[in-house]
A and B are shown apart, each in its own frame.
Chain A
């Protein structure tokens, strides 16, 4: 039984359905990557699992989210609130804007342990500073008293991560945690997250559009396209033998050593907006392998013996077990 199991999840925001029957699972000590371009529904997936969909006027239309035996889709808000920050923590996309600019960063970390663990001010401060040191923030005791604008992007993201860790959660959802950071800092932050998972045995959902980050950090990958699962599999298998044309295209987008200049591939076109999803397979207008059934019939998500899942009428059939 996985720690978090999402099944056949659809959401509704003001009459449109940006997520349509997605599913995935993640267990303790495991890193699940959720990949896709902007507009594929990655961030909405995070909001939905956090139970924060009502903030943007959305609701779960169908499906189930089970967290450690509790069904979250029907959980009353007061109970959900006690879960949030305590057992399920969130790391947002943009550390520049994710901290309250008029509150000292230390106090923002303290909030979590004081609220959920009932620590007093002194104990919370000691815990926050220890966490900051753990996250290799230089001179943590000083930085504790700083305001967000006095910190660099990488430092701010470490504060956000410290906030996420403050109540010892079981599951961390990180929504593009490195996108807004310098490349050099990106690798450090990803490395830090991987270490945390390995040391503390938490489950991590790492949302990213960067297949390079997936290759570096994740155990399993779910590829989302336009609100549906295109493919999911173990990370080694998916890189060795991607089945879905979209996954293949994403992998071709990773720059490699020794590439000829100008040979880096892109995917022509862009993800359709939720109001203009095409019929049939939503990827078919951009797909180089699209045939007759693609525009008419939605490809079902097939579960293969290797553990892979793929939704394509013309999926690559070569079997590769996840090494």
Chain B
């Protein structure tokens, strides 16, 4: 198990280099360049040239990449061109907000998704199941930016329970967590329910009934245990997805965070900022997948044996 984890971590190294190249180059596909925002209107070509030289933007792209990569490997994310501050500081400032939002949203969708799926599966084909499934269908079709605005309208503007925007205290987290978490809850609930119903058809479950075990204990101790395996994989994939998906939600709620930083960087053609944010999100996806796979191996002895 430990050697498997180490091997998987090692495998991330080449992936990291591939991602770094994509992250570095992709911003150059966006029309416009940072000199437009940096240089005053009416600056002479010579002045622009000087600015470009200061940030190393006059060098060939390949050389820029290797310079960037070299600094990156030393932990130096560069200096923001427009904001004129170390990118590492900007990221360090934003990351906790994103992690709090993403982490809570993930927790919310795990707990309520698994619970809803479990109840729907136990009461399959009854009113309870139909009610839950209808709610899930509704929840999974709402786009998060629209849901966010709707929640703001109802709970912040009309009822005044939570702040409209910002991140002053924990109450400001409630609506964004709900906005991101509800979609995930629907997904997790659906996967849990389907996996439970599928597992319930298996021969070994029939034999558990034949052994005289109480039905609820079979559902909770055996069927749910199996159903959680696909759920855990999905939750792992969502770790990265939620940080990335938080981008629009942070924007809607005007929260500081990686998403807000990324959008600001994009608008200003602030290459180092955009590159650092994209790199963070890509690494979150990589780590999320890894965590999902490791959890899978921890839960299933068959997977562990296959690894040896």
What is the interface of chain A, defined by CB distance below 8 A to chain B? Answer: 50, 52, 55, 81-86, 89-90, 92-94, 97-103, 111-112, 115-116, 147, 149-150, 160, 163
By the criterion CB–CB under 8 Å, are B211 and A85 in contact?
A: yes
With A97-B202, A102-B225, A147-B301 given, is the CB distance from A111 to B209 under 8 Å? no
Complex Cα distance, B208 from A82, in Å, reads: 13
Q: Which of A83, A102, A116 has the most CB atoms of chain B within a 10 A radius of its CB?
A: A102
- A-B contacts, 7 of them at CB < 8 A, read A82-B212, A84-B211, A86-B212, A90-B210, A98-B207, A116-B212, A149-B302
Complex Cα distance, B209 from A93, in Å, reads: 15
B299: A residues at CB distance < 8 A: 102
Q: Which of B209-223 contact A (CB under 8 A)?
A: 209-214, 222
By the criterion CB–CB under 8 Å, are A163 and B211 in contact?
A: yes
Complex Cα distance, B203 from A116, in Å, reads: 22
With A81-B212, A86-B212, A111-B213 given, is the CB distance from A100 to B305 under 8 Å? no
Q: Given contacts A97-B203, A115-B211, could you give 14 more A-B pairs where the C-beta distance is less than 8 Å?
A: A52-B210, A81-B214, A94-B203, A97-B202, A98-B206, A98-B207, A99-B204, A99-B207, A100-B204, A101-B204, A101-B300, A101-B302, A111-B211, A149-B305
Q: Which of B192-248 contact A (CB under 8 A)?
A: 202-204, 206-214, 222, 225-226
Complex Cα distance, B210 from A86, in Å, reads: 10
B222: A residues at CB distance < 8 A: 100, 103
What is the interface of chain B, defined by CB distance below 8 A to chain A? Answer: 202-204, 206-214, 222, 225-226, 299-302, 305
Contact of A84 among B203, B210, B301, B305 (CB under 8 A): B210
B212: A residues at CB distance < 8 A: 81-86, 112, 115-116
With A97-B204, A150-B305 given, is the CB distance from A102 to B210 under 8 Å? no
Nearest CB of B to A157, in Å: 12
Nearest CB of A to B294, in Å: 16
Contact of A112 among B211, B301, B305 (CB under 8 A): B211
Complex Cα distance, B203 from A94, in Å, reads: 8
A101: B residues at CB distance < 8 A: 204, 300-302
**Closest residue of A by beta carbon distance from B214:** A81
**Closest residue of A by beta carbon distance from B209:** A52
Complex Cα distance, B211 from A50, in Å, reads: 10
Q: Which of B202, B207, B210, B222 has the most CB atoms of chain A within a 10 A radius of its CB?
A: B210
Complex Cα distance, B202 from A102, in Å, reads: 13
With A94-B203, A97-B202 given, is the CB distance from A85 to B302 under 8 Å? no
**Closest residue of B by beta carbon distance from A103:** B222
A85: B residues at CB distance < 8 A: 210-213
B301: A residues at CB distance < 8 A: 101-102, 147, 149
**Closest residue of B by beta carbon distance from A50:** B210
By the criterion CB–CB under 8 Å, are A92 and B211 in contact?
A: no
By the criterion CB–CB under 8 Å, are A55 and B209 in contact?
A: yes
By the criterion CB–CB under 8 Å, are A98 and B203 in contact?
A: yes
**Closest residue of A by beta carbon distance from B229:** A102
B305: A residues at CB distance < 8 A: 147, 149-150
Contact of A102 among B206, B207, B209, B300 (CB under 8 A): B300
By the criterion CB–CB under 8 Å, are A160 and B207 in contact?
A: yes
Complex Cα distance, B204 from A86, in Å, reads: 18
Nearest CB of B to A289, in Å: 39
Nearest CB of A to B213, in Å: 6
Complex Cα distance, B202 from A86, in Å, reads: 22
> 9 tightest A-B contacts by CB?
A85-B212, A90-B210, A84-B212, A85-B211, A97-B203, A147-B301, A98-B203, A98-B207, A100-B204
B226: A residues at CB distance < 8 A: 102
Complex Cα distance, B213 from A84, in Å, reads: 8
A94: B residues at CB distance < 8 A: 203
A147: B residues at CB distance < 8 A: 301-302, 305
Q: Which of A52, A84, A98, A160 has the most CB atoms of chain B within a 10 A radius of its CB?
A: A98
Complex Cα distance, B213 from A116, in Å, reads: 9
By the criterion CB–CB under 8 Å, are B206 and A92 in contact?
A: yes
**Closest residue of A by beta carbon distance from B223:** A100
Complex Cα distance, B308 from A150, in Å, reads: 13
Q: Which of B208, B225, B226, B300 has the most CB atoms of chain A within a 10 A radius of its CB?
A: B208
Complex Cα distance, B207 from A100, in Å, reads: 9
Complex Cα distance, B226 from A99, in Å, reads: 13
**Closest residue of A by beta carbon distance from B204:** A100
B302: A residues at CB distance < 8 A: 101-102, 147, 149
With A81-B214, A150-B305 given, is the CB distance from A92 to B209 under 8 Å? no
B202: A residues at CB distance < 8 A: 97
A150: B residues at CB distance < 8 A: 305
With A97-B204, A101-B204, A102-B300 given, is the CB distance from A84 to B209 under 8 Å? yes
Complex Cα distance, B209 from A98, in Å, reads: 11
Complex Cα distance, B117 from A158, in Å, reads: 35
Complex Cα distance, B204 from A147, in Å, reads: 14
By the criterion CB–CB under 8 Å, are A100 and B208 in contact?
A: yes
Complex Cα distance, B207 from A112, in Å, reads: 11
Contact of A115 among B203, B213, B225 (CB under 8 A): B213
B206: A residues at CB distance < 8 A: 52, 55, 92, 98
